Each structure stands twice: as structure tokens, then as C-alpha cells.
């Protein structure tokens, strides 16, 4: 049962570090960034300028299933990166603190 004691301690530590708040936030941001930026691409390009006069730039509206695929693609990149970083911190901390 001792793994459970340690597990509870880890959960409590994450709570005190506000990890339960900022990690979900980071994931939400990662998920919505890609569909959102695609959706607003025409406006962004307009605002930045740089398109020649009269050029027509058609961006198809993002379909729900496309949006989900975009989010998943981002997650498999940055989401994994975040998880790796967190696991590294947990292991390094555990090594240093011993118990």
C-alpha cells in the first residue's frame, strides 16, 4: 500500500503547486490555438497586410471534425512535450528529496 501513500503525496503536491489548474489550462490553450488561428486567418492576413491589391484568398470554414483533428495533431506534439517536462520534474524532485 505504500505506493498509494506516495501517490497521494504526489497528488497533494500537485494541488499545492496549482498544477491541477495550470496544466489543464495549458492543454486547453494548445487545443484551441490551431482551429482558432485557422478560423481567423483572413482577418489576420488583412490586418498584417502584405497581400497584393485584388488578390482573393479563400479559406474554407473549419469543419468540426477538422477542428478535432487539428487539436489532436497539436496535442501529439506540444501536449506530449508538456507531459514529458512534468514527468521530468517529478522524477528529478523525487531523486533530490529521497522520500
Partner 1 sequence: MPVIEVSNLKKAFKDDLVVKGLDFNLEQGKCIALLGPNGAGKTTTLRMLSGLLKPTEGSIQFKGTTKGEDIRNYIGYLPQYPVFHTWMSGKEFLVYVGQLAHLSKKDAADKADQLLKKVAIYESRNQRIGKYSGGMKQRLGIAQAMIHSPQLLMLDEPVSSLDPIGRREVLTLMEELKKQTTILFSTHILGDAEEISDDLLLMHQGEIVEAGSIEALRQKHQSAKFELAFHGSTSPYLEKLKQFPSVLEIMLVKGEIHVVVDDIDLARKEILTEAIKSDWPIVKFELSRTTLEDLFMKVVKN
Q: Which stretch binds partner 1 (CB under 8 A): 8-16, 19-27, 37-45, 48-56?
A: 8-16
* 5 CB-side CA count, 13 A: 3
Nearest to 35 by CA among 72, 76, 2, 80: 72
3-state secondary structure 64-93: HHHHHHHHHHHHHHHHHHHHHHHHHHHHHH
Q: Is residue 13 close enough to count as binding partner 1 by CB under 8 A?
A: yes
Q: Is residue 6 close enough to count as binding partner 1 by CB under 8 A?
A: yes
Q: Which parts of 60-99 interact with partner 1 (CB under 8 A)?
A: 96-99
User: 16 or 48, CB closer to partner 1?
Assistant: 16
- Residues in the site for partner 1, rule: CB under 8 A? 2, 5-6, 9, 13, 16-17, 96-99
Amino acid at each position: 500500500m505504500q505506493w498509494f501513500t506516495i501517490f497521494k503525496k504526489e497528488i497533494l503536491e500537485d494541488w499545492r503547486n496549482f498544477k491541477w489548474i495550470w496544466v489543464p489550462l495549458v492543454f486547453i490553450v494548445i487545443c484551441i490555438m490551431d482551429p482558432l488561428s485557422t478560423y481567423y486567418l483572413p482577418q489576420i492576413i488583412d490586418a498584417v497586410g502584405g497581400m497584393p491589391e485584388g488578390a482573393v484568398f479563400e479559406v474554407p470554414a473549419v469543419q468540426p471534425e477538422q477542428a478535432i483533428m487539428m487539436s489532436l495533431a497539436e496535442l501529439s506534439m506540444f501536449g506530449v512535450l508538456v507531459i514529458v517536462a512534468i514527468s521530468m520534474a517529478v522524477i528529478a524532485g523525487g531523486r533530490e528529496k529521497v522520500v
